[in-house]
A and B are shown apart, each in its own frame.
Chain A
Amino acid sequence: GNSVTQMEGPVTLSEEAFLTINCTYTATGYPSLFWYVQYPGEGLQLLLKATKADDKGSNKGFEATYRKETTSFHLEKGSVQVSDSAVYFCALRGSNTGNQFYFGTGTSLTVIP
């Protein structure tokens, strides 16, 4: 079946530190992969996506590369800001599951000045 596994949090970093949030997946076929971000008290917002192997999604300084050989889609940012404090969710949409999305459990990030 389809599933997503994220590194457990919470993660606390100092401003301008390097961020990595690990995400691995299990899926049949060729899924599309997503990172969503949830700011306090709000719903989820799409951060970036990749639809095929070796694609790199990027947005707001965040990047993630679709690695089929390691079934991973790790989220990275070179220099985090306090405003990046949020919960980050990795998700996949299976190639044979229509519109169904599968989400990881989320990783809470706190950036301190």
Chain B
Amino acid sequence: NAGVMQNPRHLVRRRGQEARLRCSPMKGHSHVYWYRQLPEEGLKFMVYLQKENIIDESGMPKERFSAEFPKEGPSILRIQQVVRGDSAAYFCASSPGLAGTTKNIQYFGAGTRLSVL
């Protein structure tokens, strides 16, 4: 059973370009979470999605950032017109979504490290 797969592992963009980060959850998981880890800082929650629905986007910047989790295919975190401050590690996690049970654990991917030149 493959774990959470994120690609690319490293992404370099110039200011003003778009960045697209992909996340395939673990098999059988229907819930996806995106986090950002800035240098020397902890994880910051960005968005929580289920298939075709955004459940909680309270951590998403109001502009330039969007996320989706379509019925088919991976979840995508999209950053438009990147700026240097977007440079960070972006982690995706998935869970089976069994709210209220002890099995509802988040499993993390290895992350995508975005560098904006």
Contacts and interface: CB of A to CB of B under 8 A. Distances in A.
Given A43-B91, A98-B99, A103 B105 contact: no
B111 A106 contact: no
Given A99-B95, A103-B42, A42 B105 contact: no
Interface in B11-48: 31, 33, 35, 41-43, 45, 48
Interface in A71-113: 89, 93, 95, 98-106
B43 A89 contact: yes
Contact of A103 (B43, B56, B100): B43
Interface string A1-39: 000001000000000000000000000000010101000
B4 interface: yes
A59 interface: no
Contact of A89 (B33, B42, B95): B42
B108 A43 contact: yes
A51 B91 contact: no
Contacts of B4: 43
Contacts of B31: 99
Contacts of A98: 55, 99
B91 A105 contact: no
8 closest A-B pairs (Cβ-Cβ)?
A105-B42, A43-B108, A44-B108, A103-B43, A43-B110, A106-B42, A98-B99, A51-B102
10 contacts: A36-B108, A42-B111, A44-B43, A44-B93, A89-B42, A98-B55, A99-B33, A99-B97, A105-B41, A106-B42
